[in-house]
Amino acid sequence: GATIPIPSPTLCPVPRWGATHDTAAAPRSHCRPQSPNSQLPRLGCSYKFPSTSQSSTAFSFLRFSASSSARYRPRTQPFLSFVLPAPDSATSPPPPPPPPPPPRPRSMAAASSATSVHDFTVKDASGKDVDLSTYKGKVLLIVNVASQCGLTNSNYTELAQLYERYKDQGFEILAFPCNQFGGQEPGTNEEIVQFACTRFKAEYPIFDKVDVNGSNAAPIYKFLKSSKGGFLGDSIKWNFSKFLVDKEGRVVDRYAPTTSPLSIEKDIKKLLGSS
C-alpha cells in the first residue's frame, strides 16, 4: 500500500499564564499547554492504507488554531481518504440445495419407462386406485367404450359373451369409458356403469373415464399405443379400439373399432393355452 504522510497541524500560539491568571477559566481543549511559556510541538506521522479502486469514504479531521486572545476556533479540512472494502460475497454461505422432487405415483409413470401393463395404476369408476399388477397371469382385453355409439350394442353384447366363456380360464376385460369421439360417452361414471351392467349384463370391471389421445391421455393408453401402433398411426381412431395383452402384461395385438370381439376369440384362446 502507499504511505500517506499526515500533514502537521497548525501551530497554536499559547497565551502566557501569569500568577494572577485564573487557570480554572482556561479553555478546555486537547491543545491546552501543560506549562506557561510553552508551545505545542509540531506533530508528524504517517499511516499505511490498502490500495483499492473501489469507491471510498472520505473523512475530515479538525484543525485547531489559537489566536493571541487564546480563543480556539475549530475548522474542518479534508484530510485523508481511504476505502472501506465491500463485503466479500465469496465468504457468504451458499444457498441450500432445492429439495428433491417427490416420487411420482405409478399411475403417472412415463409410458416410455414402462415395460408392462402391470407397471401402471389406474382408477376405477368410484375413484379408487387399482394396481394393474393384480392382473398378472391373466390375458387382458383392454377396450375404450362409449354408451351412445353406433358400435355400442354389438360390442357390449359380444364382450359379455367372451367374458362369460373365458372368465374362469384367466381372461379379463378392462373397459375404459372415453368421451373424445363425437361426445358419445357424456354420462358420469355411475351412469356408465349402470348402463353397461343393466342393459348388457357386464360383469367385467369398468374404470374411470379417461382421454385416450392428446396431451392428457391416460398413461396406460400412451403405453398401449406406443407398444402397438395402428394402421394409420398410433392414435386411437374411434370407440371400441381393442388391445390384447398376454399374461406377462405385454401388448401382443391391436384391433380396429370395427373388429368384432368374437372375431378375435381364437387369439384369446391361444394366449390362454386352451385348444
- Residues marked as catalytic: 149
CB 145 within 8 A of CB 175: yes
Q: Which three cell numbers stand for residue 30?
A: 486537547
- Locus of grid cell 359379455: 160
Hey, what's the torsion of the CAs at 265, 271, 274, 275, to 10 degrees?
60
CB 262 within 8 A of CB 155: no
- Locus of grid cell 395385438: 253
- Amino acid letter at 42? R
* Residues present in the chain in total: 275
Distance CA 101, CA 109 (A): 14
- Amino acid letter at 256? A
Residue 68 CB coordination number (10 Å): 8
What residues are paired with 75 via a beta bridge? Answer: 63
CB 206 within 8 A of CB 192: yes
